[in-house]
Amino acid sequence: MEENNYANSFGYQWTRFQRTQLDHAQRNLSEFDFIRKTGLQPGDFAGKVVLDVGCGMGRFAEVATRWGARVVGVDLSAAAEVAAKNLADREFVGFQADVFALPFAPETFDLIYSMGVLHHTPDCEKAFKTLPQYLKPGGTIAVWLYSGYNKWYRFSDQYRKITHRMSPQALHTFFRVAVPFFYWLNRGLKAIPAVGKPVAGAIHHVFPVNTHPDPEVRVLDTLDWYSPKYQSKHTYEQVFRWFESCGLEGVNIGNVPVGVRGRKPPRTGQQ
């Protein structure tokens, strides 16, 4: 039962932070992230039927529907219900489903994307390889995964052995205190001439917390980092091999590691 509930922390997270990362008239950070992490553009979505794998509270589905797509969002956690509520006025349907057993017919979607999700499954490679079957010939698939190149996370990986066992509520309560403390400690140390910045950098390396300008986002992103049971990191070489083994072509990268997209070959005679 515990294995089946590895996404429970995300249900709490996106119920608690229902609209924190949604774009609005004064902010388009999700749109910016979507483009730079995948290399996809608004024109790739207009009129398309799209699958959002691990939709969370719907931040990227909001972008895709704004660009003219009809989106189906799936999430293993209760976050899918939050996404359905957030996007009730859009061409969006969201429901709970397991990436390893999706309830779709083959070749259903024009485009499939998964942003920062598959590395939270027990087997990221296996999770990815379940997806191309649902893609129409000529369709595009794009994923963004945590990078395995920079080893800054070695300390946080040790802490996660404990933090992922904590209840999401308890961990959130802890970070509501710890994140502001380390944020202001970091800023205070950097103001000290000469030695301040190196000391601040060392502390941040040993105790990594998010430093986003928005205090709510700081807590959310730190909770997002420390609460999951699974959190694998990957390289372009690995992910390119996955794409190629699935027969995908035109494999390309986004502007942020590790974002990769490719295309299912069209049928003979198809443009």
- Paired strand residues for 186: none
pLDDT of 4 over the 80 cut: no
pLDDT band per the 50, 70, 90 thresholds, residue 136: very high
Tokens coding 124: 């990221």
**CA 195 and chain centroid, separation:** 36
* pLDDT tens digits, one per residue of 148-192: 998 888 999 999 999 999 999 999 999 999 999 999 999 999 999
Read off the pLDDT band of 27 (50, 70, 90): confident
What's the chain look like in SS3? Answer: CCHHHCCHHHHHHHHHCCCCCCCECCECHHHHHHHHHHCCCHHHCCCCEEEEECCCCCHHHHHHHHCCCEEEEEECCCHHHHHHHHCCCCCEEEEECCHHHCCCCCCCEEEEEEECCHHHCCCHHHHHHCCHHHEEEEEEEEEECCECCCCCCHHHHHHHHHHCCCCHHHHHHHHHHHHHHHHHHHHHHHCCCCCHHHHHHHHHHHCCCCCCCCHHHHHHHHHHHHCCCCCCCECHHHHHHHHHHCCCEEEEECCCCCEEEEECCCCCCCC
- The reply to whether the predicted model has a pTM over 0.75 is yes
pLDDT value for 150: 84
Mean pLDDT of the chain: 95
Burial 259-269 (b: 16+ CB within 10 A, else e): bbbbbbeeeee
Residue 254 confidence (pLDDT) above 60: yes
List pLDDT tens digits, range 69-105: 999 999 999 999 999 999 999 999 999 999 999 999 9
| pLDDT on residue 270 | 63
Strand partners, 141: 112, 262
Each residue of 38-65: pLDDT tens digit?
999 999 999 999 999 999 999 999 999 9
User: Distance between CA 35 and CA 251 in Å, rounded?
Assistant: 16
pLDDT at position 268 is 80
**Residue written as tokens 């899918």?**
80
Task: Give the confidence band of 1 by pLDDT, cuts at 50, 70, 90.
Answer: very low
